[in-house]
Amino acid sequence: MYLIIDNTKNLAKAYMTPMLINVVNKFFVQCRVLSDWDEVDEVICNSDQYRIEGIILSGGPLCLSKDSISKTNKNIRILEHFKNIPILGICFGFQVMSYYYGGKIKSMGREKNEISRIKVLEKGSQSRLFNHEKNMVVIQSHKDNVITCPKGFVVTSIDPNDGVIQSIESYKLKRYGVQFHPEGLQHSEVIIKNFIKICKQSYI
């Protein structure tokens, strides 16, 4: 089973996260969406009863540069408890993960909502998420940026225009993160597909 930690304010009215759920289902894996603290707490307390292979922290409207870190507690709790399970952070989930492991977040002073191109770095050629994928067109929708990569992680892609971090990976920690929304475009869904492969290999 895969867990999707929903960081939207209202999943029924959200745009990207329902797309994320559909993409995960497309790859024929069972997923459970956790939208509030009680659901997260129940899964953690009974985690031995579940066959959890991987976890995704979704995007959402909160901004770490403005909102209290206490609002991200369900994400932090997941990161702390499931240390041996691969976790993928997307957009806001990526920022929470980066912050938790010591990265720095900064407000852009505006909302970036566009289709853009990311540059896969040379180290990204060894990336498990990109798996030798070259530069990729992706959907961006966020107000904060990760400006410092957390210790123990490798930056695998950047924005070629301003050098802003677009993805990080830590094989040792089993943590992966992307600033963009891989669920937003059909060709970028390969990121989620590759993450599922990572999880299956890790679970064996």
Catalytic residue IDs: 91, 181, 183
Give the distance from CA 174 to its chain's centroid.
12
Closest to 70 in 3D by CA, of 43, 42, 37: 37
Task: Give the list of residues 6+ apart from residue 182 with CB closer than 8 angstroms, or none.
Answer: 23, 90, 138, 188, 189, 190, 191, 192
Cα distance between residue 167 and residue 179, in whole Å: 6
186: its two tokens: 């059909």
Cα distance between residue 146 and residue 65, in whole Å: 10
Cβ burial 161-200 (10 Å sphere, 16+ → b, else e) = eeebbbbbbbbebbbbbbbbbbbbeeebbebbebbbebbe
Q: At what angle do helices 190-203 and 16-26 cross, to 10 degrees?
A: 50
